[in-house]
Structure 1
Amino acid sequence: MNYLSPYQLKPYNFSITPAVGVTGSRGPSPAVKLLYKNILKTRFLGQVADFGAGIGLLSLPLTRHAKLVYSVEWDIRSFNALTKNIEDNSLTNIIPVFSDNLSQLSYFDQIIINAPVHLGREAILNMIHQAHQKMNYEQQLYFIAKRNFGAKWYHQYLKKLFKLVEVLDISGGFRTLCCSGKNNFSYPHYTRLISNRYKQRLYKFKTLPGIFSRKRIDPGSKILIEKVKPRGTLIDFGAGYGAMGVSLAEKCEKVIMSECNLTAFRCLWHNLGINEVDNCEICLSGNLYNYPPHLADFFIVNPPTHSGGNTADLIISEAHRLLKTGGQMLCVVFRPGSYYQRMKNLFENAEITAVNNYSIISSVKL
């Protein structure tokens, strides 16, 4: 597991160890600070569910006030860091829950959602609907969203679901709400089935809210599928719901796909079945440390460029370690600068091919 340098989280001086590729490397966000301040205004904090807990920057301080905290997280990298932070601080009234839903929670008094705007509106609504479905009349939902990312729209939407929606705070560019008294509501159906034709075969993919490019195959992934000429063993790093790895599997002896998001991983597992692919090995992980070096002939990735340089370094170093001599790394990005330079530095070679506003960067292990 790739961890970053630990730091102290005030006011209780919790020791926090962040992870590569997830939020919280420099401390709690303004939204987390506002949520914490406003939640403490509640007279009674019983059993609290922090839905999308990340590495625990809100959950851990809440243990000083709540009877019990459920920290629900679906990114395996965040969850591993969350578990480590709980253990390092010897906390006993907090339970980490690795899940993308609330079905494992039998009861709670308050539930907290810090709207993950990077996952899109459907994912946020899905979280709200899950919370609403699990709540009774007396339970409370705390919700915060950025004012310039639809906070007012969510406010109006929540009024359809709850009898009382109280504005707790509108400072710092955020809107913090407390909702209670649930109304009856008919929940939408979120599952999508999209398709991609490759080499005269039609592939189908189930997708769900909160995963990358769920409404259509990402153009960058499509370009890489068409350009790569796979053979032997192929690694698809950050495979998502399987668009690249599943489509290319027929041309390979073996495909290894890794994915860190539990929702995407569940879709990936399903998509292997509906496309009748039997030469794939999938792992729920943010790295491939359990695999030996010199394993693969190809390493392909459509990387999350918003995750920063630490993630880029992790991906490229993993590719270099896992590739055989003569093996090739192929990376598709919108802006090649950062990945190109990093790949060139480590592999000592890199080429860029421009295709439809995207760049395919290729390096060969010497």
Structure 2
Amino acid sequence: MPDSPLPEPSPHALPARPAEQFLIQQFSEGKLLPAAGDVLTTSLGRAQLAAALAASNQYNRVDCWYIDLYQANHARGDHPNPPASLNILCDPDPPEHQYDLAVLPLGRRGETELVRDQLQAFFNAMKIGGQLWVAVDNPTDKWVHEQILKLGVKPTIISGSDSIAYGCVKTAELKKQKNYGCEFAIRDRGRLLKVYSRPSVFSHRRIDPGARHLIDAMPIEAGMRVLDLGCGAGTVSLAAATAADQVTVHCIDSNSRAVQCVLAGAELNQLTNVTASVSDTGQIDAPGSFDLVLGNPPYYADFRIAELFMATAHKALRSGGRVVLVGKDEEWYTDQMPVLFHSIEIQPVKGYLVASGTRL
């Protein structure tokens, strides 16, 4: 049993997702065997489980690991005065540390390869004798159970009305490690470019059709300073960097793995004119200095990300600089782009559109 019950969340806090709430409940009731020491976890929401574990004063260190800075910063915002033991981290991989307890909440619609990647990473992060607990918001789950069995352990199972949890003790290191990163190639202007990608990065293992249309449309000229918004694995960035002489490309993405991947891709292609940084707000150095901004914003979130891309492009571009975005809703771009740009051009292309404009 825990030394004391886990604290109740603030009535104003965002509720935890079902699998995470199920784990909080099980720990609070003492149904999952607790372990003193250091904890690794992640969150489908705002680090609610990590905060509860840290507030219990049972653990020396509670690391809540995110891949995406947007999610990490929202979690930090929900815990402005965290317990001293709580660390909310954003990195491509968990810290290189050996933990006594690893806790992984999952959603039933999670990316298959990312789940396998996370399971392996969390298992590797445990000390021998450490405990791994995994929960998924699917009480009839079989697939996650199968993946845990592949780790060479037979888990304890705790079932709930909307989630199920699996627990196991690490008795040996994994005999085989799988590399979930991959390389693939794209062709542009007669040149073959190598791309490196990892699970959670857009778009993993292939070039997205929107990115291909953006590459075909981007007006790259010698000496240009180019900004790639939401670079993903870097297909657009690498193509831009090789499209003309003395071009420099800077890439930003909220996904820390995306930044890792585009820099790896630059190295694979022996490119020294590509830089990258993690950003979830469009923050860049040297605003007003770019000649061209490129972006392939996601087609969801009620255009909030597309709006951020346009605002960032306006801030980044010099006077007379050009923005080129790929989208799908012609009416929205027709209405919104003239607010910040002039000389608007919108060209339909195979179910997408390429929208461009010049900075006012």
Task: Specify the TM-score bucket, using the shorter chain as the normaliser.
Answer: 0.7 to 0.9
Aligned letter for 1:176? A
Q: Which residue of 2 aligns with 1:64?
A: 55
Query: 1:82-231 to 2 correspondence within 5 Å?
Result: 82-83=75-76, 85-86=78-79, 88-108=80-100, 110-115=101-106, 120-136=111-127, 138-147=129-138, 151-172=141-162, 174-182=163-171, 184-231=174-221
Contact 2:16–2:45, Cα closer than 8 Å, also in 1: no
Specify which of 254, 261, 264 is matched with residue 258 of structure 2. Answer: 264
Q: Which residue of 2 aligns with 1:13?
A: 10
Q: Equivalents in 2 of 1:139, 1:352: separation in Å? A: 57
Offset at 1:52? 4.9
1:139 counterpart SS class? strand
Q: Which residue of 2 aligns with 1:317?
A: 311
Cα pair distance change 1:122/1:84, threshold 3 Å? same
Q: Equivalents in 2 of 1:200, 1:262: separation in Å? A: 30
Q: Equivalents in 1 of 2:228, 2:51: separation in Å? A: 35
1:247 has 2:235 as partner: no
Offset at 1:38? 2.4
Aligned letter for 1:175? I
Q: Equivalents in 2 of 1:209, 1:90: separation in Å? A: 30
1:359 has 2:356 as partner: no
Offset at 1:165? 1.8
Offset at 1:330? 1.5
Specify which of 35, 41, 49 is matched with residue 40 of structure 2. Answer: 49
1:34 has 2:22 as partner: yes
Compute the RMSD of aligned alpha carbons.
2.9
**Which stretch of structure 1 is more off in the superposition, 73-82 or 236-245?**
73-82
Offset at 1:280? 2.5
Cα pair distance change 1:309/1:224, threshold 3 Å? closer
**Which stretch of structure 1 is more off in the superposition, 137-146 or 226-235?**
137-146
Offset at 1:170? 4.2
Aligned letter for 1:44? P
Contact 2:92–2:260, Cα closer than 8 Å, also in 1: no
**Which stretch of structure 1 is more off in the superposition, 313-322 or 302-311?**
302-311
Q: Equivalents in 1 of 2:306, 2:286: separation in Å? A: 20
Q: Equivalents in 2 of 1:61, 1:341: separation in Å? A: 45
Query: 1:256-295 to 2 correspondence within 5 Å?
Result: 256-295=250-289
**Which stretch of structure 1 is more off in the superposition, 112-121 or 69-78?**
112-121
List runs of 5+ in structure 1 lacking aligned partners. 1-9, 17-25
2:48 counterpart SS class? coil
Cα pair distance change 1:360/1:175, threshold 3 Å? farther
Offset at 1:315? 1.8
Offset at 1:93? 1.8
Q: Equivalents in 2 of 1:178, 1:338: separation in Å? A: 48
When normalised by structure 2's length, the TM-score is 0.84
Offset at 1:274? 1.8
Q: Equivalents in 1 of 2:234, 2:339: separation in Å? A: 29
Offset at 1:208? 1.8
Contact 1:119–1:211, Cα closer than 8 Å, also in 2: no
Aligned letter for 1:121? T
Contact 1:53–1:59, Cα closer than 8 Å, also in 2: no
List runs of 5+ in structure 2 lacking aligned partners. 1-6
Offset at 1:207? 1.6
When normalised by structure 1's length, the TM-score is 0.82
Q: Equivalents in 1 of 2:330, 2:166: separation in Å? A: 41
Contact 1:162–1:179, Cα closer than 8 Å, also in 2: no
1:78 has 2:71 as partner: yes
1:154 counterpart SS class? helix
